[in-house]
Chain A
Amino acid sequence: MAFNARISMPAEARAGEIIEIRVLTRHPMDRGGQSDGKGGTVPRKILNRLTATYSGEPIFRLDMYTGVSANPFVSFTTRALETGDIIFEWREDGGAVFTRTARLTVT
């Protein structure tokens, strides 16, 4: 259960309307550097990037460093243009990728 996400946004919007997208993520965002008890240090393991595409077009990107909290919250806005999927993709240190999809219906 290292990763999970809760995406909150309206399911419907009028064309041209600006909607707010709120993303809460479950992730320890381990900043690393602590002693591992064996003479070494724990490596950094954070989500270093969140990208959002809307009907295939990139609409948002967040680069994250160790200054972003554990279980981070992020919000941003986008203009509703057409009915389509908003795909969220997180990249974790080490290369793992997590995705979630939300559908926006434009009326």
Chain B
Amino acid sequence: MRLKLALGLLIALLGTAAGGEEITSGSAFLSPDLRRQQDDPTRNPGWFWVEQGQGLFGRKPGASQACSQCHAEPEKSLRGAATHYPQVDAGTGQLLNLEGRIEQCRVERQKQPAFGYESGELLALTSYVASLSRGLPMDVETRGPAQPFYNAGRAFFERRQGQLNLSCKQCHDGLVGQKLRGDTISHGAGTGYPAYRLEWNGVGSLHRRLRACSLGVRATQFDYGAPEYLALELYLAARARGLPIETPAMRR
């Protein structure tokens, strides 16, 4: 009995060690064809959303200022910004991802109605701002005020959920590289999002992808921007620390 317990503990420890293995980008799990398509701007449709976002960034919404009036030379001033999201908003103490920060700017500074999560405009602006950090390593803060959110995200990742009673960790740590029907299981790094997914025939957010994960294990699908997914996004971003941002990536 005691031996069994010790053995169990050892396996658990080994499991933790395996969890510390190097995380790779979702692009590493694409077919060579799709990867080539992703890396070729003449082939990757995600760039249309980036282009749309760039247009919105420079345009005045109504009587208010354009994004570019505060964020002049965004190629320089916002380069690297996306690597630090999600982050805790100093004013409210809430965890904000890039989508949340853009909406906050729009409502509080531009005094415009929110675009709404997963709207074409918000996807376009998020894609554009994230694309300004292409190639830069993910670098989110997980300590201080972010610590409780990080802990909640990690707990979510490790908790068994849904009718299939699966945790994220069981597949995305334990079975990476193996097949789930036609899919190859990745580490679940969200560094390519918003991404153009063939399944969607368009660009979608990481939360849209997470909702599909929840459905996959027959678990509760949370709302876009829900605290559960925000915390998970922070944990995934922390796991992906050091991986370059690839927005707009292509996924199957």
Instruction: Report the bound CA distance from A1 to B120 in whole Å.
Output: 9
With A6-B42, A22-B42, A73-B43 already in contact, the answer to whether A28 and B201 are too (CB < 8 A) is yes
Instruction: Report the bound CA distance from A6 to B43 in whole Å.
Output: 9
Across the interface, which residues of B come within 8 angstroms of A77, CB to CB?
none
Determine if B51 is an interface residue (Cβ-Cβ < 8 Å): yes
Determine if B124 is an interface residue (Cβ-Cβ < 8 Å): yes
Instruction: Report the bound CA distance from A59 to B226 in whole Å.
Output: 52
Do B43 and A4 touch across chains, with their CB atoms under 8 A apart?
no
Determine if A99 is an interface residue (Cβ-Cβ < 8 Å): no
* Min distance, Cβ A51 to any Cβ of chain B, angstroms: 20
Instruction: Report the bound CA distance from A71 to B52 in whole Å.
Output: 15
Per-residue CB proximity of B180-202 to A under 8 Å, as 1/0?
A: 00000000000000001000011
Determine if A26 is an interface residue (Cβ-Cβ < 8 Å): yes
Q: How large is the interface on A (under 10, 10 to 19, 20 to 34, 35 or more residues)?
A: 10 to 19
Determine if A101 is an interface residue (Cβ-Cβ < 8 Å): no
Determine if A78 is an interface residue (Cβ-Cβ < 8 Å): no
Q: Which residue of chain B lies nearest to A29 when distances are taken between CB atoms in the complex?
A: B201
**Which A residues, 61 to 107, have Cβ-Cβ distances below 8 Å to chain B?**
69-71, 73
Q: Which residue of chain A lies nearest to B51 when distances are taken between CB atoms in the complex?
A: A4
Per-residue CB proximity of A1-36 to B under 8 Å, as 1/0?
A: 100101010000000000000101010110000000
Across the interface, which residues of B come within 8 angstroms of A8, CB to CB?
42
Instruction: Report the bound CA distance from A1 to B45 in whole Å.
Output: 13
Can you name 19 A-B pairs with beta carbons within 8 Å? A1-B124, A4-B51, A4-B52, A6-B41, A6-B42, A6-B47, A22-B43, A24-B42, A24-B43, A24-B45, A24-B48, A26-B45, A28-B201, A69-B201, A70-B201, A71-B48, A71-B196, A71-B201, A73-B43
Sorted nearest first, the 8 A-B pairs with minimum C-beta distance are A70-B201, A8-B42, A71-B45, A26-B48, A22-B42, A4-B48, A1-B52, A73-B43
Chain A contacts to B: CB under 8 angstroms: 1, 4, 6, 8, 22, 24, 26, 28-29, 69-71, 73
Chain B contacts to A: CB under 8 angstroms: 41-43, 45, 47-48, 51-52, 120, 124, 196, 201-202
Extra inter-chain contacts (14) besides given A1-B48, A1-B120, A28-B202, CB under 8 Å: A1-B52, A1-B124, A6-B42, A6-B47, A8-B42, A22-B42, A22-B43, A24-B42, A24-B48, A26-B45, A26-B48, A29-B201, A70-B202, A71-B196
